[in-house]
Amino acid sequence: MICETTIRYRADISAGALKVPETRVIADLLLRGVDEQEWKRALISDNVLQTRNSATAIRLARLIKARLALMDAELWKMIYEGTGVVAVHAALAAAIKHSLLLGDFLDLVVREQYHLFNPALSNRLWDDYLSDLPRT
């Protein structure tokens, strides 16, 4: 019998939090349909993400672009043009769709805390959730 292992979670969630201001910038580039040359110029020469070095800009842009690529242009527009709250919610939706780890945490842990009427979430909940994940 062959045992097939499926990788459920990706490790890149820790690379970027929501990064709403940076996500607005990437959404704008995607909405404008910039080509690869314009993309690199914006990230490296123009430093539109305001990072300390180009490697960080490229890594962060790759993460945000991967999140946004799962959504349509309407959501990109909500991020770019929306109020702060709308942009945060839209960026969160993209992050959840991109990361099953985040989605499962919200579904399992945050939902339970909501049902317990806990007024705040502790950082320990995330740590406990990660330590309780099965190892493959």
Could you tell me the pLDDT band of residue 19, with boundaries at 50, 70 and 90? very high
According to the model, what pLDDT value does residue 11 have? 60
Task: Report domain extents, the chain.
Answer: 17-98, 100-136
Predicted model pTM: 0.82
Could you tell me the pLDDT band of residue 134, with boundaries at 50, 70 and 90? confident
Q: State pLDDT tens for residues 60-113.
A: 999 999 999 999 999 999 999 999 999 999 999 999 999 888 899 999 999 999
Q: State pLDDT tens for residues 107-130.
A: 999 999 999 999 999 989 999 998
What is the rounded distance in angstroms from the CA atom of residue 28 to the CA atom of residue 119?
A: 35
Answer yes or no: is pLDDT of 49 > 90: yes
Task: Specify the CATH architecture of the domain 17-98.
Answer: Orthogonal Bundle (1.10)
